[in-house]
Amino acid sequence: MATQESKQLALKEKELGNAAYKKKDFETALVHYRAALTHDPTDITFHNNIAAVYFEQKEFKKCIEECEKAVEVGRENRADYKLIAKAFTRTGNAFRKLEDYKSAKTYFEKSLSEHRTPEVKSLLSDTEKQIKEMERLAYIDPAKAEEEKEKGNEYFKQGDYSTAVKHYSDAIKRNPDDAKLYSNRAACYTKLAAFDLGLKDCETCCRLDETFIKGWIRKGKILQVMQKSSEALTAYQKALEIDPNNAEALEGYRACTVDVHSDPEKVWNKAMNDPAVQQILKDPAMRVILDQMQNDPNAVLEHLKNPQVASKIQKLLGSGIIKIY
């Protein structure tokens, strides 16, 4: 047991150590903290201080060892549970620096069992996320994803859509950036009438690869079934931007245009209040094209090959000013 005089000497050394620590003179700080321990080896604080220095020096293994001593001394001398929690937290942080996230998680949990603070709860949450991400990345294997995809394709052909979903889902875990896998699974969900799940997969597919036309068409079809013709119209428009001659996209666009614009008067009034529509209709070149389309509806296919004209025609289609039959 340290005498009162020894404790006073220890505190003076600690203060000198703190002053050096603040100046980032870590070697000097270590000298004083170790001197404090010689005067009073029963105080957990000095071990915590030494561990803090090791942490700053990036000596993470030494930091962990010192924290273990701190906890041992703290337990033997019935130290404040907050000081023991502090040692556990620093151990967790040191393990994080060593990228040993599972050990870090263990020590953050130990810290919280001693004293719960928002800071440590946040550290634990972040560490758990890192563990999950590492496990996810470790599971990625494009070759195995392709194997699972082929299995899914076989079950899809057999009409066993639930089993196909399982294989496509595993393929997605193996290669989460492959847009086509989400499209395939969306096809299964559509067959199973799980339209919300199918739509979610289509949205992921289109986000990953905006040029994959099948994703937009499949999204349009699902939205049609869900009676969301206006949103389906937008999906088909995206598909037509990729391939203006795609038969499925054109057919879906026509059908949705009819559904969306069933009240001609309302459609006209709404369209004419749209500045973009007004500007298109004032364009002399567009008026010539619209006249051609009126005399020959098939002329739209030729004009859709021009991206600028296609964009304007699709705007007019979307507004209901013109229709393709």
Average pLDDT over residues 134-162: 94
36-41: long-range contacts at Cβ-Cβ below 8 A with a sequence spacing of 24 or more? 36/10, 36/11, 37/10, 39/2, 39/6, 39/7, 39/9, 39/10, 39/13, 40/2, 40/6, 40/7, 40/9, 40/10, 41/2, 41/73
Lowest mean pLDDT among 84-93, 164-173, 238-247, 299-308: 299-308
Q: Is 324 exposed, middle or buried (0-12, 13-18, 19+ CB in 10 A)?
A: middle
The answer, yes or no, to whether residue 317 has pLDDT greater than 80, is no
96 in the Ramachandran plot: left (φ > 0), alpha (ψ -120 to 50) or beta?
Answer: alpha
Cα torsion through 32, 34, 36, 41, rounded to 10: 170
Q: Copy the structure tokens of residue 197.
A: 């799940």
Rounded mean pLDDT of 51-68? 97
In tens, the pLDDT along 181-227 reads 999 999 999 999 999 999 999 999 999 999 999 999 999 999 999 98
Mean pLDDT across the stretch 41-68?
97
Enumerate long-range contacts of 32-41, CB under 8 Å, 24 or more apart. 36/10, 36/11, 37/10, 39/2, 39/6, 39/7, 39/9, 39/10, 39/13, 40/2, 40/6, 40/7, 40/9, 40/10, 41/2, 41/73
In angstroms, the first-to-last Cα distance of the chain is: 97
Whether residue 101 has pLDDT greater than 90? yes
Q: What is the pLDDT of residue 12?
A: 96
Q: What's the whole-number mean pLDDT along residues 34-52?
A: 96
pLDDT at 207: 97
**Predicted pLDDT at 89:** 98
pLDDT at 323: 57
Q: Is the pLDDT of residue 269 over 90?
A: no
Question: Which of the four pLDDT bands, split at 50, 70 and 90, describes residue 31?
Answer: very high
User: Do 225 and 248 touch, CB atoms closer than 8 A?
Assistant: no
Report whether pLDDT(305) > 80.
no
Of 301 and 176, the one with more pLDDT: 176
Given a cut of 90, whether residue 308 has pLDDT beyond it is: no
For the segment 306-312, the average pLDDT, to the nearest whole number, is 78
pLDDT at 324 over 50: no
Please check whether residue 250 is in contact with residue 315, taking contact to mean a CB–CB distance below 8 angstroms.
no
pLDDT at 30: 96
Domains of the chain: 42-139 (1.25.40.10), 142-262 (1.25.40.10), 267-319 (1.10.260.100)
**Cβ–Cβ under 8 Å, residues 185 and 165:** yes
Average pLDDT, the chain: 91
Average pLDDT over every residue of 166-185: 97
